[in-house]
Structures are given as C-alpha cells and as structure tokens.
Amino acid sequence: MTAAGPMRVIIDTDPGLDDAVAILHALNTPALAVEAVTAVAGNIGIATTTRNVGGLLAAMGRSDIPYAAGAAGPLAGDGRTEVAIHGADGLGGVPLPPAWVPPDSRSAMALMDAHLRAAPAGSLCILALGPLTNLAHLANEAPVAYARIGRIIAMGGTIDEPGNAGRFAEFNMAADPLAARMVLCGPVPVTLIPLDVTRRLRATPEDLDRLAAFGTLAATLAANLIRAYFAGHAERSSRPLHDPCVMLMAVAPALFGTERLRLAVDCDAHPGRLVQTADGAEIDVALRIDAGPALDHLWQGLGAAI
C-alpha cells in the first residue's frame, strides 16, 4: 500500500494452482485493489480458467469484481496445457463454489480497455500470471488504452535456470512467444519475475500447516491448493510458488533484487527463450528474492482477517 492508498490492479491469469493462491492473496490483502480479473488459456483451457476465476471470486465473496474470458489460444500455433500438474479442473480437485455472477459479456480485452480508459493514465497495474496473449491483443486492438497501463508485473521466462517448457524456455513465454515479444518490446514498462526467482520461493508440508493455522478462508483454501500441488510429487520436500511472486513484487518489492536487462524473445529455434542481446528491450528482471521473509509475507497476507 502506498501513501495514496492500495495499488489498483487488474489480474490477468490462467488458474492453475499457483495462480489461484496468488489471486487469493491479492483478494485478501488491503495493499491491492483488484478492479477486474481476466482469464486467458494457458495452464488449462479458457472455459476452465474462466470458471476457476469465477469460483475464486465467489469463495472470497467478491461479486463486486468483474471478470471475463479472454484468448482461447496463442497468437499463432497451438497452445500448451499443464493438466499433468494442475489436474483436469486446473485446481488439483480442490472444490470451489459456483460463480455468484456470470462472466462479463465483454471480452477480457474489452473489459481491460474500459477500466484503463476510466482510470487516470498510469494508475492501473497489470499483474500477469499466465501467457501474455490477452495483453498482446489489447495492444493491437486498443493501443490508446494499453499505453495507459502504469506497469506490467509478469511471471515468466528464465535467465540462467533450466526451462520448464523444454530446456530453454519457461511455460508462459513458450505458450505464446509472439505475445511475449510484443509485450516486452512495447511501450509499457515491464517487471519480469523468472524461474530464477520463483523456484526459490518454496513451501514444505510444515509450511502449509503454519498457513492453515491462520484459519482464514484464504489461508485454508490456499493451503489445500498447495497440498494438491504435491499430488504425484510426494517424494519432493517442497513445491515452488511461482505466481504469488507477482503479488509479492507488487506489495513488497524490497523482498526482491532486480536488474535491468536487454532481452529478446526467441520465436523460432527455441520458442519462448529469453536472449540477452544489446538491441533487446530494456526490462526490469527480478534475479534475487529474500525467500524466508517472502514466504512469511505471503502467509501473513493470506492469513489476514479482512
């Protein structure tokens, strides 16, 4: 929260287990004012990601926040999914209530357009948790509104870490490399949080016991979702919390160390790979995280009584 009040944000997302935890944190912290949520295909198909957004808003009693379906696939080529990680419902079988209200009749891009035009220029930040397809469409279809975004904070890419969508690329970048190239090279400043950082923010089963002990709806549901993240990976002592890093960067940037890198997005040999090059776009990239305090901050946000 700033002296002027909470940060005004639109969440663009493809829930997804870690997306869901990030959304619960955003809805449960007074430091963020969530004005809309837009769904994109990514972890699972667009019908499921949109339904999950509606369910998360219903679980938190937030029928006041509009949500809408966005792009059903990448700008070009075939999409990717992560059903093996997130389950057929995207949430590892963790139940959500049915949506209280249906999705907005407008597209995600039209919903973002309307909110950006109504808000003072630069006052709305986009928290991007999935492939950047919706933002690329917005840049194409409504460039005036797109230019009014204050900043995009996005989970995506890898600098030195091995990829999780092939050896060189991270899933969100690989799912729509053309969109990633458009957004990273566009007129809106971008803060990127790559696997180099998100793999450092990890939760153990003991951490989940500590989270559940807060007893709030957000903490209980988040703990159940992260436990589902262990399904099929019982041999692992911890699981990474990728997308919640975006919310933490928004509300507590001092937890991170960033560097300004010049990056290009490979759309050919290794789609989604980030390449450091002298003629690349200048991007603020998180390369360090104070992981222990970051996890504490995340748990406290989910455990806050609102």
Please give the backbone phi and psi of residue 204, each rounded to the nearest 5 degrees, phi first. -100, 165
Distances (CA, A) of 149 to 116, 120, 128, 139, 266: 7, 9, 12, 11, 25
Structure tokens at 103: 């999705």
The model carries a pTM of 0.95
Active site residue 233: no
Distance between CA atoms of 68 and 160, rounded to whole angstroms? 35
Distance between CA atoms of 305 and 10, rounded to whole angstroms? 23
Task: Give, for all 306 residues of the chain, the pLDDT tens digit.
Answer: 555 689 999 999 999 899 999 999 999 999 999 999 999 997 688 999 999 999 999 999 999 999 999 999 999 877 666 565 556 777 988 999 999 999 999 999 999 999 999 999 999 999 999 999 999 999 999 999 999 999 999 999 999 999 998 899 999 999 999 999 999 999 999 999 999 999 999 999 999 999 999 999 999 999 999 998 887 666 678 999 999 999 999 999 999 999 999 999 999 999 999 999 999 999 999 999 999 999 999 999 999 987
CA angle 263–161–198, rounded 5-degree value? 90
Distance between CA atoms of 271 and 166, rounded to whole angstroms? 9
Amino acid identity, position 121: A
Distance between CA atoms of 12 and 76, rounded to whole angstroms? 19
Contact 108/136 with Cβ under 8 angstroms? no
Q: Which one is catalytic: 25, 115, 242, 297? A: 242
CA angle 89–108–191, rounded 5-degree value? 90
Strands 7-13 and 124-128: parallel
